[in-house]
């Protein structure tokens, strides 16, 4: 996500804010719909980026390509369905929202190009909006605690296996940092991000045509 020009920097900031904000909002909204009022009490059911951003995490995302938003806190004891499945749905909500935003951004990108509205800034904005959302979706779906993918995996396996996955959450951040530092995460993500980007761009082309 490193930005190497002023135009990309100026276009990348709103694109990144949208990606992070909708991701965290989706987590909070689904948790609330499943019966947990915690996100509402903490002011997370809003599309105001200030409610979702961690200043240091956002700065690092812009300049270094790795960072974080403020996690949405949930209380699974409020859920009105089996907790493990509810946690899976809440976890899926963020990445799925990112994929929806990426698709809508790709459609808007094609429409703006068709009507001749694209300049350097607008083209960079839509480009980064699509890329950021796809990268966030793929990254968060990696089954490494505390990423969303670990909770999705826990909702698909047996209770015993899910307990083991949840038990790794204390070590998860260290494992994640190790995978990032050694380049393992990048090697895993690169083909997945390319595949998802291709699918979204193809779908947007069919939609506009």
Give the H/E segment covering residue 1: none
Q: Looking up tokens 């100026």, which residue turns up?
A: 10
Contacts of the segment 94-97: beta carbons below 8 A, 24+ positions apart: 94/23, 94/24, 94/26, 94/27, 94/136, 94/140, 94/148, 95/23, 95/136, 95/137, 95/138, 95/140, 95/141, 95/148, 96/26, 96/137, 97/22, 97/23, 97/25, 97/26
Give the H/E segment covering residue 145: none
Q: Looking up tokens 């990048």, which residue turns up?
A: 186
Q: Which of 24, 82, 160, 169 is catalytic?
A: 24
Please answer whether residues 132 and 1 qualify as being in contact, where contact means their C-beta atoms are separated by less than 8 angstroms. Answer: yes
> Torsion angle, CA of 133/106/194/21, rounded to 10 degrees?
0
Whether 82 is catalytic: no
Helix/strand/coil percentages in the chain, nearest 5: 75, 0, 25
Task: Indicate which residues carry an active-site annotation.
Answer: 24
């Amino acid at each position: 996500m490193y930005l190497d020009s002023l135009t990309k920097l100026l276009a990348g900031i709103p694109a990144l804010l949208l990606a992070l904000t909708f991701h965290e909002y989706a987590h909070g909204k689904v948790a609330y719909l499943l019966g947990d009022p915690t996100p509402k009490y903490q002011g997370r059911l809003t599309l105001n980026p200030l409610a979702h951003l961690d200043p240091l995490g956002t700065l690092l995302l812009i300049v270094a390509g790795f960072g974080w938003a403020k996690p949405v806190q949930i209380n699974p004891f409020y859920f009105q369905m089996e907790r493990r499945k509810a946690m899976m749905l809440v976890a899926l909500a963020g990445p799925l929202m990112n994929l929806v935003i990426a698709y809508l951004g790709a459609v808007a990108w094609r429409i703006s190009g068709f009507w001749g509205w694209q300049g350097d800034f607008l083209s960079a904005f839509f480009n980064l909006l699509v890329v950021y959302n796809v990268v966030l979706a793929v990254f968060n779906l990696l089954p490494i605690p505390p990423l969303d993918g670990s909770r999705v995996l826990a909702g698909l396996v047996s209770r015993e296996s899910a307990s083991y996955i949840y038990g790794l959450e204390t070590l998860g951040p260290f494992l994640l940092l190790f995978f990032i530092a050694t380049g393992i995460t990048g090697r895993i993500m690169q083909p997945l991000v390319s595949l998802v980007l291709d699918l979204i761009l193809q779908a947007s082309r069919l939609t506009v045509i």
